[in-house]
Structure 1
Amino acid sequence: MNRRELDPDSSPQAAFGARLRRAREERGWTQEKLAEEMGYSSTHISSVEVGRKLPTLRLARSADAALGTGDIFERAWRKVRHAGLLEGFPQFIDHEAQAAEIRLYEVGVVPGLLQTPDYAAVLAQGAVRRGAITDDQAEERVTLVAERQATLVRTPAPLVFVVLDESCLRRPVGEPAVMNGQLDRLLEFAELPNTVLQVAPFAMGERRSFDLPVYLLTLPDRSLVSYAESAHRGHLERESAFVLPILTAYHQLQAQACSQAESVAMISQLRKGTS
């Protein structure tokens, strides 16, 4: 019998596979036995053990349940998932979950904190069709969106300031029902006591402070963190000398953008199809 050895230190994916194999063998189980207990095929389990296939959250939880390992595999899966994210983003979402204030500016798409599951799924499947990610990775993206949104209802809830470029509202994503549901979600978000939602209209032109998405966090100790990304790289910045000018520019953006009342009216018009 051929046995492929993995270097657990080579990647989080390899570490997950090696851990799964070790836990299985410690119980004297075959891959067939573990597959039966977890509700997967033995081929699937084999592919995960040797690092050919990415584990999913469902698989990790099934492994914990079958092997009685608490949440060991779920925590290992989170490391695998984070390995596929842009540099700096895993650290950013950890900070986001604790932030006292969150400020976002987004272009083109509604940001993850405000996405409905249907909207997030359409975006993820679009990436699958382009060959950018796999079906499993698409599932994880949607799961991550839902997990991040828990920060909006935690206690104490953060103050959340969102400025959306008008393109976020005008760009159709999915069927009309998907987009209508997303617009409804934005209106619901604007009604929350800890949120401010504004739209930066196309008419702002050169008065717009940013051309790319910007994310700013005020942490519980009042320190600031910013995150920005391009198509292939993300950058987390903690140095106040660099973050403070971004915060200033964000305040300038808010001053030039539509008020929340005007923004809600614009979204409502789009939702009714009258604009």
Structure 2
Amino acid sequence: MGRVDNVTATESGGSVVRRILLGSQLRRLREARGITREAAGYSIRASESKISRMELGRVSFKTRDIEDLLTLYGVSDERERSALLGLAREANVAGWWHSYSDVLPGWFPTYVGLEAAASVIRVFEVQFVHGLLQTEGYAQAVITRGMKDPEEQREEIDRRVALRLERQKKLVSEHAPRFHAVLDEAALHRPYGGREVMRDQLEHLVEMSEHPNVTLQVMPFSYGGHTAETGAFSLLTFPEPDLSDVVYTEQLTSALYIDKAEEVGLYTGVMDSLTSECPGPDESRDLLREMLQQY
């Protein structure tokens, strides 16, 4: 059990991380006692699928349910119970991003929480500049492009842009994560918002690439095909030793969170290959400056 008392998740992303940590601890306790999910669910007047969602950290926790499960799992030590119940209370604290839930797809708040808690963020993008590197004007153009009636949805667009800018504060905070982005050159040539917006965006990329915690590489057209044939993805690493890396991929109507070690390993290998195949950060910065001359 050891690490329950040593949770060091950041203030902003801690609730998501703590849900995952608590769920992981509950799963270990249940398996150690040889109790099925069905039996555990019965003990708290819930279904097997509810126990599964709890153990994956995908739902909030009721104190009574945690108390009953700990009793079922034979956890009688008061210090251990107190630590886990405290973790449950902290896991239920809503993150700042929940105030934007009315303008976000249901799966995205979880990603924002994980992103906020990550100590290392590695991303590959093809379609457009990654959200953590977008200027306000570029973000406005990207979000507006996907709207059926931008004028009618102006308030939603503004709130989604505001969320994107709020997420970016993490990169320049006191405890900023290491951020490594590989952008396909296609993302830099696809115009969003016109020449001025694109010029500002390229200048912003050059500026951000000079931050000590940011590594930015561009995969040029001249390289031809590359290992990331399946498209964009994010790879998140956390400071908590109990948390495995998570890969996030997004589709039109849903998203996929991958944490199985063998699958995460495949994405890690692709990211490592992209990093070695691309021009280095200095050469990529020079490429960005060359593109700027077009504007």
State the TM-score, normalizing by the size of structure 1: 0.67
Other-structure match for 2:116: 97
* Distance (whole Å) between structure 2 residues aligned to residue 265 and residue 134 of structure 1: 38
Residue 260 of structure 2 is aligned to residue 231 of structure 1: no
Q: Tell me the C-alpha RMSD between the 2 structures.
A: 2.4
C-alpha deviation, 1:245, in angstroms: 1.4
Gaps of 5+ in 2: 1-93
Evaluate the alpha carbon distance shift between residue 77 and residue 171 of structure 1 in structure 2; reply closer, same or farther with a 3 A threshold. Answer: same
* Distance (whole Å) between structure 1 residues aligned to residue 152 and residue 267 of structure 2: 32
Give deviations 1:216-259, integer Å, cap 9, x for gaps.
11011253011001222211222223212111111011111121
Other-structure match for 1:125: 144
Gaps of 5+ in 1: 1-74
Evaluate the alpha carbon distance shift between residue 139 and residue 244 of structure 1 in structure 2; reply closer, same or farther with a 3 A threshold. Answer: same
C-alpha deviation, 1:192, in angstroms: 0.3
Evaluate the alpha carbon distance shift between residue 173 and residue 238 of structure 1 in structure 2; reply closer, same or farther with a 3 A threshold. Answer: same
State the TM-score, normalizing by the size of structure 2: 0.62
Give deviations 1:97-152, integer Å, cap 9, x for gaps.
12110001011211110000111111222223567982222112101111110110
Other-structure match for 1:214: 233
Matches within 5 A, 1:150-169: 150-169=169-188
Matches within 5 A, 1:235-250: 235-250=256-271
Stretch moving more, 159-168 or 194-203:
194-203
Matches within 5 A, 1:48-127: 78-79=97-98, 81-82=100-101, 84-127=103-146
- Is contact 2:227–2:270 with CA below 8 Å preserved after alignment? no
The one-letter code sitting in structure 2 at the alignment partner of 1:172 is P
* Distance (whole Å) between structure 1 residues aligned to residue 213 and residue 98 of structure 2: 31
Aligned length: 200
Other-structure match for 1:273: 294
Other-structure match for 2:55: none
Residue 223 of structure 2 is aligned to residue 204 of structure 1: yes
* Distance (whole Å) between structure 2 residues aligned to residue 205 and residue 88 of structure 1: 33
Stretch moving more, 132-141 or 76-85:
76-85
**Identity fraction in percent:** 32
Give deviations 1:66-93, integer Å, cap 9, x for gaps.
xxxxxxxxx7995463355345321111
